[in-house]
Structure 1
Amino acid sequence: MAMSVLQIRLEEDLKNEVSALFDRLGMDIPTAVRIFFKRAVAERGLPFEVKEKKLSDDEIESDRLLVALRKAGEMAEKNGAADMTEEEIEAEIKAARAERRARKVRLLEDA
């Protein structure tokens, strides 16, 4: 049967760890990969269950914070505020608050 070469990239630490594991099992990495592929074909899918990791409350909160930061960055880019300095941002906030106070005063005067 014709053979072909499969090349993959992975972290060196992982390669060393899995190589040591397979050595203890009496096989090399190519043999283990062939076993994996044969089982996947026989089962018509991965030969083990794949589940999403259950996140801890801290991890969930971290994910929420990252999503919020990403959205804030996108909004800053969209609104042209991404390149603003801290002083410029503070000045805009101060101006917006002053405008809001002035609007309230005008509403009270008109009432």
Structure 2
Amino acid sequence: MAEQVLNQFRSDKELREDCVAIYEALGMDLNTAFRMFMERTRMVRGLPFPAVLPETRMTRIEAQRAIDDLRAEAADLPEMSLDEINAEIRASRAERKPRE
């Protein structure tokens, strides 16, 4: 038998109790479940379950709603001339220049 080591970690009490109940219903204790997890990890050389971020997709309706919301926001903004826009850009750039 290979040398045994003690593994310890902290977890939420309710989470532990829920997991203990699940594993007991499957006929095993928590230690056996963790040993199985570790063996499977070694077998697959990674997490023994998919660990990916959910793909976030926007439906056509959601996209149209977002566009409509942006248009509504823009409708309340005052109209600016090209000269006014350029003046704002120049002022912003002047503020960002390093002071000597």
In the superposition, the TM-score normalised over structure 1's length comes to: 0.47
Q: What's the RMSD between the two structures over aligned residues? A: 1.8
Write out the 4+ residue segments of structure 1 that deviate beyond 2 Å after TM superposition: 53-57
Q: Secondary structure at the match of 2:18?
A: helix
Whichever structure has more helix as a proportion of its residues is: 1
Q: Secondary structure at the match of 2:48?
A: coil
Displacement of 1:51 after TM fit?
1.5
Greater length-normalized contact order (CA 8 Å, ≥ 6 residues apart): 2
Deviations 1:10-35 (A, max 9, x none): 00000000000000000001100000
Q: Equivalents in 2 of 1:14, 1:56: separation in Å?
A: 31
What's 1:44 paired with? 45
Q: Secondary structure at the match of 1:23?
A: helix
Q: Identity across aligned pairs (percent)?
A: 32
Q: Secondary structure at the match of 1:15?
A: helix
Distance 1:12 1:40, change over 3 A: same
Residue 21, structure 1, aligned to residue 22, structure 2: yes
Unaligned runs of 5+ in 1: 58-111
Counterpart of 2:29, as a letter, is: D
Q: Equivalents in 1 of 2:33, 2:46: separation in Å?
A: 17
Counterpart of 1:14, as a letter, is: L
Q: Equivalents in 2 of 1:9, 1:40: separation in Å?
A: 20
In the superposition, the TM-score normalised over structure 2's length comes to: 0.52
Distance 1:2 1:13, change over 3 A: same
Counterpart of 1:35, as a letter, is: M
Q: Equivalents in 2 of 1:56, 1:16: separation in Å?
A: 36
Distance 1:56 1:21, change over 3 A: farther
Q: Secondary structure at the match of 1:9?
A: coil
Q: Secondary structure at the match of 1:21?
A: helix
Counterpart of 2:28, as a letter, is: M
